[in-house]
Amino acid sequence: MPTQVITTDRQISSLKPLDCRFERRVSGARGLSLRVWPSGLRQFEVRFAVKDGPRRRVILGDYPAVSLADARQKATQLRLELLKGVDPVAERAAAQIPAPPQDSLDEVAETYWAAAELGLHGGRRRPKRPRTIANERHLWKRHISATYSTPPSNTVSSRDRYGARRR
């Protein structure tokens, strides 16, 4: 059975969601298609290939927030950018703001111990004893700080943590 090609808004609104995601091509713009998810969400997307690069897809928006005419217009604009040699995916990635620098693990540990002295470290709302904090600091310096003190806390992987537990 040949796949249906979408030409009108009425055809889009008549599409019923299935148990799995499916796609329908949209006429009027090269590479434009409509994805229908099992939840009923309908998304316009454009598929393209950058010269000497991988095939990519860009989501233009959800239907009915983005109309069929708007999706065709956005797809045409994206194709014009491609003809100029601009990679829209790389351009969007470069435009994103980089994440702020994260605290080192030593700074996170010091924050924890300061909260533990005040009783703000857990649900019990009771301060830890000074001897307990001193013991935790000793274990931290002996087993963890020597290995992981300099990297930011968000760069330590689960494999690194597993290796630290095995020592």
Taking only the tens of pLDDT, the chain with its 167 residues reads 456 887 887 888 888 888 999 888 888 888 899 898 999 899 999 988 877 777 888 888 898 888 889 999 999 998 888 888 887 777 777 777 676 667 777 888 888 889 888 888 877 788 889 999 999 999 888 888 777 665 555 566 666 655 555 55
Instruction: Determine the angle formed by the axes of helices 88-95 and 68-83, rounding to 10 degrees.
Output: 90
3-state secondary structure of 98: coil
Buried-exposed string 60-93: b where 16+ CB fall within 10 A, e elsewhere: beebeebebeebbebbeebbeebeeeebbeeeee
Instruction: Return the CATH architecture of domain 5-95.
Output: 2-Layer Sandwich (3.30)
| This model's pTM is above 0.85 | no
Helix (H) or strand (E) run with residue 125 in it? none
Q: How many angstroms separate the CA atoms of 36 and 40, rounded?
A: 6
Q: How many angstroms separate the CA atoms of 155 and 53, rounded?
A: 29
Residue extents of the structural domains in the chain: 5-95, 105-166
H helices within the chain, ranges in order? 9-14, 68-83, 88-95, 105-118, 130-139, 146-148, 158-166
Here the tokens at position 102 are 């994260």
Q: How many angstroms separate the CA atoms of 154 and 80, rounded?
A: 39
Cβ contacts of 15 within 8 Å, gap of 6 or more: 24, 34, 36, 42
Predicted local distance difference test score (pLDDT) of residue 138? 92
